[in-house]
Structure 1
Amino acid sequence: MKKPLLVCSALALSISSVITPLTATAALPHTVNNQQLPSLAPMLEQVTPAVVSIAVEGKQVSTQRLPDSFRFFFGPDFPSEQVQERPFRGLGSGVIVDADKGYIVTNHHVIGGADKIIVQLHDGREITAELIGSDEMSDIALLKLSEIENLTEITLADSDKLRVGDFAVAIGNPFGLGQTVTSGIISALGRSGLNIENFENFIQTDAAINSGNSGGALVNLNGELVGINTAILGPNGGNVGIGFAIPVNMVKNLTEQILEYGEVKRGVLGVQGGELTSELAEAFGYETNHGAFINQVMPDSAAEKAGLKAGDIIVSVNGKQIRTFGELRAKIATLGAGKKATLGIVRDGKDQSVTVTLQEATLSKVKADNLHPAWPVPSLPTPQPMTA
């Protein structure tokens, strides 16, 4: 089983600042014209039944190399390694995305290696679930409940419409305590380079996320799903206000592929490049300061067939802004092989658009020496090239 990304740890809270008592004018009123105070409760009453707790059981296989002296005593045919199976149990969260079919989305690392999956619903019912398919590289899994009576599904938002500063609510089962709700804001969008997953385009939030929240819901104030909570960044594995969720648009693309093919068939452009840094933009006279800079184009790739060239800057995919090369890579990969995408590009200072039919990632691998000549980049500090 893949080690969970969210590590349970004890949290200690120290308060060293002086707390000044609130004045009467700063206190919240008990009532306003006999009306209830603003609350998330009405929205949560509709949403929380769609968020479930997941318990898994399985066997973890480990291999231990035995000392050479064992073969000396027991003969050359004695195995040099010993395989051990140890039972494990794990906890996580999930979200019902289709009540009629009993489909639940969670993280791959929640159910990876599990032989038995038990889902506890909001009303206390415990139902077994089977794994329809999962993708370790994007950390998404799709489950199906064995019983589908009286289920509540969540409404999906358009995560491309999120803005930094939007309010967000995280719902899950931290530390196995039971369903818990925390709130915060969207702190950042398009986070990548964290080495958590292979294809990263995270939503960052300061809503408290802890071990057991993995696979749970990140929703907006309308109660719509905007992301699947996945990981946190913290020195001791505890929450410090930096949590990450997989955007729901990405989740939707991945689960559709799992249902259609039984696996994820990633799309690929066939380009190599990196971030459009301010230094690069200034050197080439580009006015835009966001996007993915193309350094090389692979022969016979989807990018070459669409007319993309080294030196182009990809600034949007299907009308949605691209901030970084990592975001481009994740969006293209999760759209899927065979899908068409409209790319907004900047070439020679002019805005253009091209339509590309994505190839399957496994079919587009070429040796580095087969790449077309690279775009001449000035002597500037540039990041490690990436492919998309």
Structure 2
Amino acid sequence: MKKRVLLASAAILSTTVSLASLPASAALPMAVDGQQLPSLAPMLENVTPAVVSISVNGTQVSRQRVPEMFRYFFGPNAPEEQVRERPFRGLGSGVIIDADKGYIVTNHHVIDGADTIKVGLNDGREFEAKLIGSDSDSDVALLQIEAKRLTQVHKANSDKVRVGDFTVAIGNPFGLGQTVTSGIVSALGRSGLGIESLENFIQTDAAINSGNSGGALVNLRGELVGINTAIVAPGGGNVGIGFAIPINMVDNLVDQILEFGEVRRGVLGVLGRELDNELAQAFGLETKHGAFVSQVMEDSAAAEAGLEAGDIIVSINGNPIKSFQALRAKVGTYGAGAKVTLGVIRDGKKKNFKVTLAQADMETASAENMHPSLTGATLANGDNSVIIREVAPNSPAAAVGLKKGDEILGVNRTRIKGLKSLRDTLDDTQGAIALNVKRDNSQLYIVLR
């Protein structure tokens, strides 16, 4: 049975391989019959300095609830759960997308839970990186280093990539050092794999192995077409099925992270399913690709634009949509407020609808992006309030007195309605900040430092 294999190495390799000296071989000819031999070397000399290695260190925290029958023996102060901390180390890859500002793109799963992130350049230099922001649903993270003489990679338009295009994967598999492999684009718009929440992958047969996560997938012009993210293999090794996140999707997410410090996901407001042969025949359609709309939500962006149940969405901004999952991924990586044009088949006729995407309701959020003193707390929307789902031990949130189960009702004397309202109110509040918190059956104020 196939399984997902994350490409970030679970641990840094602790052994080294000593290669025996090889006899010198005769120089290979540079040309045959006057014709220059083809080589990727000139292109790679320009691109490989933009691909970096990433090493992380962190602490993995696991919690296990202590059964009540055991807590009885330790008296009334016995803990309700047992907390275990285990250090971990990991490896991955990254791509420099802005040499002047030191921005590096990698995968979220490469840096997830890391306390320290170090970036190794192709020239041997090493720097500690700052995490600017990340998005677990799409598996994208943005780092920054302070360094001079960096090389950035040029980007392709990944919407123009075709099956059969030659590709080159660059990364650091198994911590061995920078490695280059080549292949072709095997498929486009891969989704429904259960690898990420938002999936619209480029599939390639260029050899990808553990440690390649966050590395570059480039075309023969040395332009970045995608960020390598996962492989599917029965035994955990390369079998010629690798997946990369299209760079256009990555760009949309990076723009939001830079502007807001997080991804503010757009939402269309439709429910649906894949367009299969049965549906296509029922609607008299020749196409077998698209997203069938079964329901349009009230007061949604789709309803405002005029979409209806029974519509079949076949393109977004002129680019074909193969499935409902691909539509979801495309829309989910556009920011709230983005204007898109949907190609729709209705009653056998092609129509275009201009849609302004609404902002998705935030269901949960890591609070450090709202205020430094909230770092370590996980928040969720409540009923005209914000619920504290978790508080990490020894975190700033725990230090100010927040506890799991607390309900934030307001900031100073301003009532809040949810996560977005809390964020906006904190942004607008000058001076001292006190959270109005409901705990059990009482209310109190907790001052943020």
TM-score range, shorter chain: 0.7 to 0.9
Deviation (angstroms), 1:80 = 3.4
Q: Output the amino acid matched with 2:149.
A: N
Equivalent position of 2:345 in the other structure: 346
Q: Output the amino acid matched with 2:133.
A: G
Equivalent position of 2:195 in the other structure: 196
Equivalent position of 2:41 in the other structure: 41
Alignment pair present for 1:238 and 2:237? yes
In the alignment, the residues of structure 1 paired with residue 362 and residue 310 of structure 2 have an alpha-carbon distance, to the nearest angstrom, of 24
In the alignment, the residues of structure 2 paired with residue 208 and residue 52 of structure 1 have an alpha-carbon distance, to the nearest angstrom, of 18
In the alignment, the residues of structure 2 paired with residue 30 and residue 152 of structure 1 have an alpha-carbon distance, to the nearest angstrom, of 28
Equivalent position of 1:150 in the other structure: 149
Equivalent position of 1:218 in the other structure: 217
Distance 1:352 1:210, change over 3 A: same
Equivalent position of 2:178 in the other structure: 179
SS of match in other structure, 1:337 = coil
Distance 1:75 1:358, change over 3 A: same
Task: Please tell me whether the aligned partners of residues 96 and 102 of structure 2 are also in contact (alpha carbons under 8 angstroms).
Answer: yes
Q: Which moved further from structure 2: 29-38 or 103-112?
A: 29-38
Equivalent position of 1:375 in the other structure: none
Q: Output the amino acid matched with 1:324.
A: S
Equivalent position of 1:324 in the other structure: 323
Alignment pair present for 1:161 and 2:155? no
Q: Output the amino acid matched with 1:150.
A: R
Deviation (angstroms), 1:323 = 1.1
Deviation (angstroms), 1:55 = 0.5
SS of match in other structure, 1:328 = helix
* 1:193-252 deviation digits (Å, cap 9, x = unpaired): 011110100000011111100000000000000000000001122111100000000000
In the alignment, the residues of structure 2 paired with residue 62 and residue 309 of structure 1 have an alpha-carbon distance, to the nearest angstrom, of 46
Structure 1: where are the runs of 5+ without partners?
A: 10-27, 365-388
* 1:328-380 deviation digits (Å, cap 9, x = unpaired): 1111111111011111111111111110100112179xxxxxxxxxxxxxxxx
Task: Please tell me whether the aligned partners of residues 190 and 203 of structure 1 are also in contact (alpha carbons under 8 angstroms).
Answer: yes
In the alignment, the residues of structure 1 paired with residue 146 and residue 5 of structure 2 have an alpha-carbon distance, to the nearest angstrom, of 25
Deviation (angstroms), 1:289 = 2.0
Alignment pair present for 1:74 and 2:57? no
Task: Please tell me whether the aligned partners of residues 317 and 342 of structure 2 are also in contact (alpha carbons under 8 angstroms).
Answer: yes
Task: Please tell me whether the aligned partners of residues 62 and 85 of structure 1 are also in contact (alpha carbons under 8 angstroms).
Answer: yes
Q: Which moved further from structure 2: 101-110 or 32-41?
A: 32-41
Q: Output the amino acid matched with 2:331.
A: I
Q: Which residues of 2 match residues 189-338 of structure 1 at below 5 A?
A: 189-338=188-337
In the alignment, the residues of structure 2 paired with residue 113 and residue 8 of structure 1 have an alpha-carbon distance, to the nearest angstrom, of 14
Task: Please tell me whether the aligned partners of residues 57 and 117 of structure 2 are also in contact (alpha carbons under 8 angstroms).
Answer: yes
Q: Which moved further from structure 2: 70-79 or 324-333?
A: 70-79
Deviation (angstroms), 1:6 = 2.9
Task: Please tell me whether the aligned partners of residues 117 and 129 of structure 2 are also in contact (alpha carbons under 8 angstroms).
Answer: yes
In the alignment, the residues of structure 2 paired with residue 61 and residue 36 of structure 1 have an alpha-carbon distance, to the nearest angstrom, of 57
In the alignment, the residues of structure 2 paired with residue 72 and residue 267 of structure 1 have an alpha-carbon distance, to the nearest angstrom, of 50
Distance 1:8 1:241, change over 3 A: farther
Deviation (angstroms), 1:8 = 5.8
* 1:25-46 deviation digits (Å, cap 9, x = unpaired): xxx9984135542111110000
Deviation (angstroms), 1:146 = 2.4
In the alignment, the residues of structure 1 paired with residue 68 and residue 298 of structure 2 have an alpha-carbon distance, to the nearest angstrom, of 51
Structure 2: where are the runs of 5+ without partners?
A: 11-27, 364-449
Alignment pair present for 1:59 and 2:92? no
Task: Please tell me whether the aligned partners of residues 7 and 238 of structure 1 are also in contact (alpha carbons under 8 angstroms).
Answer: no
Question: TM-score, normalized by length of structure 2?
Answer: 0.74
Task: Please tell me whether the aligned partners of residues 9 and 91 of structure 2 are also in contact (alpha carbons under 8 angstroms).
Answer: no
In the alignment, the residues of structure 1 paired with residue 351 and residue 63 of structure 2 have an alpha-carbon distance, to the nearest angstrom, of 55
Deviation (angstroms), 1:172 = 0.2
Equivalent position of 1:126 in the other structure: 126
SS of match in other structure, 2:361 = helix
Q: Which moved further from structure 2: 290-299 or 101-110?
A: 290-299
RMSD in angstroms over aligned alpha carbons? 1.9
Deviation (angstroms), 1:284 = 1.3
Equivalent position of 1:135 in the other structure: 135
Distance 1:234 1:8, change over 3 A: farther
Deviation (angstroms), 1:184 = 0.5
Number of corresponding residues: 343
Task: Please tell me whether the aligned partners of residues 8 and 212 of structure 2 are also in contact (alpha carbons under 8 angstroms).
Answer: no
Alignment pair present for 1:115 and 2:115? yes
In the alignment, the residues of structure 1 paired with residue 70 and residue 297 of structure 2 have an alpha-carbon distance, to the nearest angstrom, of 52
Question: TM-score, normalized by length of structure 1?
Answer: 0.85
Task: Please tell me whether the aligned partners of residues 215 and 230 of structure 1 are also in contact (alpha carbons under 8 angstroms).
Answer: yes
Deviation (angstroms), 1:300 = 0.5
In the alignment, the residues of structure 2 paired with residue 346 and residue 39 of structure 1 have an alpha-carbon distance, to the nearest angstrom, of 46
Equivalent position of 1:93 in the other structure: 93
Q: Which moved further from structure 2: 32-41 or 272-281?
A: 32-41
Task: Please tell me whether the aligned partners of residues 6 and 237 of structure 1 are also in contact (alpha carbons under 8 angstroms).
Answer: no
Task: Please tell me whether the aligned partners of residues 96 and 152 of structure 1 are also in contact (alpha carbons under 8 angstroms).
Answer: yes
The structure showing larger relative contact order (alpha-carbon pairs under 8 Å, at least 6 residues apart) is: 1
Distance 1:120 1:7, change over 3 A: closer
In the alignment, the residues of structure 2 paired with residue 157 and residue 223 of structure 1 have an alpha-carbon distance, to the nearest angstrom, of 9
In the alignment, the residues of structure 2 paired with residue 254 and residue 49 of structure 1 have an alpha-carbon distance, to the nearest angstrom, of 24
SS of match in other structure, 1:57 = strand
In the alignment, the residues of structure 2 paired with residue 30 and residue 46 of structure 1 have an alpha-carbon distance, to the nearest angstrom, of 20
Distance 1:131 1:341, change over 3 A: same
In the alignment, the residues of structure 2 paired with residue 72 and residue 177 of structure 1 have an alpha-carbon distance, to the nearest angstrom, of 52
Q: Which moved further from structure 2: 320-329 or 56-65?
A: 56-65
Q: Output the amino acid matched with 1:346.
A: I
In the alignment, the residues of structure 1 paired with residue 237 and residue 45 of structure 2 have an alpha-carbon distance, to the nearest angstrom, of 28
Deviation (angstroms), 1:268 = 1.1
Q: Output the amino acid matched with 1:56.
A: V
Deviation (angstroms), 1:174 = 0.2
In the alignment, the residues of structure 2 paired with residue 69 and residue 253 of structure 1 have an alpha-carbon distance, to the nearest angstrom, of 52
Deviation (angstroms), 1:276 = 1.1
In the alignment, the residues of structure 1 paired with residue 98 and residue 156 of structure 2 have an alpha-carbon distance, to the nearest angstrom, of 14
Deviation (angstroms), 1:287 = 2.4
